[in-house]
Structure 1
Amino acid sequence: MVVGKFWPLHKGHQLLLEAAATQVSELVVLVYANPDSATLPAAVRAGWIRELYRGDEVSEGPRIGSTPLRISALSADADGVPPDAADDATHREFVRRWLAQRGIHIDVVFSSEDYGPGFAKHLGAAHVAVDPARPQVPVSGTLVRSYPTEYAQFLHPLVAAQFGVVPPAAVPRVVLLGAESSGKSTLCAALAEALDTVWVPEYGRTLHEQKSGNLDYEDLLYIARRHVELENEAGAQAQGVIFCDTNAATTALYSYYYFHRCDPMLQAMAAVCGQRYAHTFVCAPTVPFEQDGWRGPEALRSFQHGMILMQLDYFGIPYTLVEGTVAERVAQVLGHLTISI
């Protein structure tokens, strides 16, 4: 078991969870605080853990490797969570009773805190300390809450977005947006080749094909999350700049288009796209339309293009429209980057 506020979930927490998961057959995770956050309550914080550790098949539930996670968000009203200021004995007994009421037996408690050994002993469990002095991940929830910008590097982009910040990138990121069949992928590949660097394909397309077009509502947040993770991975190989096909803002548009709603975490990721990317280019839908079996009708391109421009204006994100042949578009982008990067 791991118990914590996770306010917010940071890389130190992830180290703790991942270390624990390698040593158990099931990991129970309790998320709570009293008083709780009014804007990011325990249910939201538990949602971060579920999302970061879900796979392509959300029906399987969150897991780290082969270890399933049993995540519960507790509250003072529903569960009687004691105040944070209560003594250790009160907190230990609260958790013991909560587990007993649900028939959950804990073999080992993992923590990075001084309370861990006594807490585990009260539950009749062993204790394993993970990075207690924080040399591996020098951060705490208090530091992040107090200085989110300065400590954004210790947050997953999904979590950081809910604080309105973006973790620093190793190299500048340039994003290409556009309607379906507007030449984004072709242009990304051509630009990466021209600058001998890497580009990140649209992950939404990848998952769409893997699931034979049967995306669920929950997949849209997953698409945005996996896409930024792939950007981070590609950044280690990039030479001076990295080109990205699509961003979380466009994924949010598709969430509204297909499901008429959008997860707040995805909304937050969309809202920080202006900070995440050094430059935004929009591909005009003037190239010949190619129906590959996965796209909507050609008539939809004009609507999609207009929605993307409206969203960029709404978020106040400057952009450059590119048109013409692939060679002409490459020249337009590189000409702008020569001046700006």
Structure 2
Amino acid sequence: MPKIPRIGLVVGKFWPPHRGHQLLLETAAAQVAELLVLVYANPDSPAHPAAERAQWLRELYRGDELADGPRIGPTPLRIFALSAETDGVPPDAVDDDTQREFVRQWLARQGLHVDVVFSSEDYGPGFAVHLGVPHVAVDNARARVPISGTRVRADAAGAAAYLHPLVAAQLGVVPPAPVPRIVFLGAESSGKSTLCAALAEACGTVWVPEYGRTLHEQKNGNLEYEDLLYIARRHAELEDEAAAQARGVLFCDTNAATTALYSYYYFHRCDPTLRAMAAVCGQRYAHTFVCAPTVPFEQDGWRGPEALRSFQHGMILMQLDYFNIPYTLVEGTVQERVAQVRAALK
């Protein structure tokens, strides 16, 4: 049986990270025991420098437990952001040998050894030879994922289909959806989940539960600050997965904007990446409904006190007004709310 290379290397601008980059990283991670990722450019992006882009990658591949660090499947990722100021990154325009030698010396200074290089660019084979390791090409022709960083920088909206929702939000765009997404917001115990399930059954489609509730229960209520961004990212991914199975419409319980509210509520701060995801909710959903907190309150052991419902309801309405997101308030029984939603969607 051939020996699995211990450490792989991927080098790139990731400006910004797109689905082609994710294909490269995921293909590489499947073939090594550990993957090193170097993120840099010179000149760098003034709006989203390498350190920020590297953090996006870490967020894309972090799991439920922060201590695990980013990983793809069982393969851990070590993601480094380099800069001209601190690492001596050469200008992008210099010759290939200078670029290759910079990486070789940087790795040596860090005491890092690599066994194989992965790339989706023509420079890959020569780069690997300079490092004295094999090279693996991944979709150089862009046949599987026809996108490039240059194209995304030129037209982020036009290239949004090739961006993860987290990354797209940082650029102020939203990937297109195969079916309209309808989101339901509301205070705790305001009937969102019940209504989503009833609508999905009535319309013969699927719905997406609130992932924040799922993780909250998994961690026995001990959420950390960094979990809030993770919740928004996973919820967006679950929406995209469900959209592929939906028929005509997808119903969603909660969005990133509400997750941002909970970040402020629990931790008095909100990650800028999460704020960006909250800011594009008006574009992400075709219609927003707010469930009035008029159904009987059910304390299931995970919710706050009933007295908070009115405050939470008001904060959600304030946030929608702040983002200029139109919404429809639904009240009454489940059957009455289903009828109100179906009438509004028609």
TM-score of the alignment, normalized to the shorter chain, above 0.5: yes
The answer on 1:31 being equivalent to 2:39 is: yes
Q: Which residue of 2 aligns with 1:7?
A: 15
Distance 1:298 1:171 in 2: 35
The answer on 1:17 being equivalent to 2:19 is: no
Q: Which residue of 1 aligns with 2:165?
A: 157
**Deviation of residue 304 (structure 1)?**
0.5
Q: Map Cα deviations across residues 115-137 of structure 1 (whole Å, 9 max, x no partner).
A: 11111111111111111111111
Q: Which residue of 2 aligns with 1:329?
A: 337
The answer on 1:75 being equivalent to 2:88 is: no
In the TM superposition, what are the counterparts of 1:202-213 in structure 2 within 5 Å? 202-213=210-221
Q: Quick check: 248-257 or 81-90, which moved more?
A: 81-90
**Deviation of residue 296 (structure 1)?**
0.5
The answer on 1:140 being equivalent to 2:142 is: no
- For structure 1, the 5+ residue unaligned runs are none
Q: Map Cα deviations across residues 132-181 of structure 1 (whole Å, 9 max, x no partner).
A: 11111110000001011111000000000011110000000100000000
1:317 aligned counterpart, secondary structure: coil
The answer on 1:285 being equivalent to 2:293 is: yes
Q: Map Cα deviations across residues 200-248 of structure 1 (whole Å, 9 max, x no partner).
A: 0000000000000000111100100100111111111111101000000
2:184 aligned counterpart, secondary structure: strand
1:109 aligned counterpart, secondary structure: strand
Distance 1:240 1:127 in 2: 45
1:68 aligned counterpart, secondary structure: strand
The answer on 1:55 being equivalent to 2:63 is: yes
In the TM superposition, what are the counterparts of 1:112-127 in structure 2 within 5 Å? 112-127=120-135
| TM-score, normalising length: structure 2 | 0.97
Q: Which residue of 2 aligns with 1:96?
A: 104
Distance 1:66 1:190 in 2: 38
The answer on 1:244 being equivalent to 2:252 is: yes
The Cα RMSD (Å) is: 0.6
Residue of 80, 86, 93 corresponding to 2:94: 86
2:257 aligned counterpart, secondary structure: helix
In the TM superposition, what are the counterparts of 1:219-238 in structure 2 within 5 Å? 219-238=227-246
2:222 aligned counterpart, secondary structure: coil
Matched AA of 2:88: G
1:249 aligned counterpart, secondary structure: helix
Distance 2:145 2:201 in 1: 36
1:223 aligned counterpart, secondary structure: helix
Moved over 2 A (4+): none
Q: Which residue of 1 aligns with 2:204?
A: 196
Matched AA of 1:120: A
Q: Which residue of 1 aligns with 2:3?
A: none
1:153 aligned counterpart, secondary structure: helix
Q: Which residue of 2 aligns with 1:128?
A: 136
Distance 1:102 1:44 in 2: 21
Aligned identity (percent) is: 81
Distance 2:107 2:117 in 1: 13
**Deviation of residue 79 (structure 1)?**
0.8
Residue of 218, 237, 257 corresponding to 2:226: 218
- For structure 2, the 5+ residue unaligned runs are 1-8
Q: Which residue of 2 aligns with 1:186?
A: 194
| TM-score, normalising length: structure 1 | 0.98
Distance 1:310 1:331 in 2: 26
How many residues align structurally?
Answer: 338
Distance 1:22 1:115 in 2: 22
**Deviation of residue 34 (structure 1)?**
0.7
Distance 1:49 1:73 in 2: 11
Matched AA of 2:228: L
Q: Which residue of 2 aligns with 1:65?
A: 73
Q: Map Cα deviations across residues 8-50 of structure 1 (whole Å, 9 max, x no partner).
A: 1001001100111111111000000011111111011111111
Q: Which residue of 2 aligns with 1:276?
A: 284
**Deviation of residue 89 (structure 1)?**
1.2
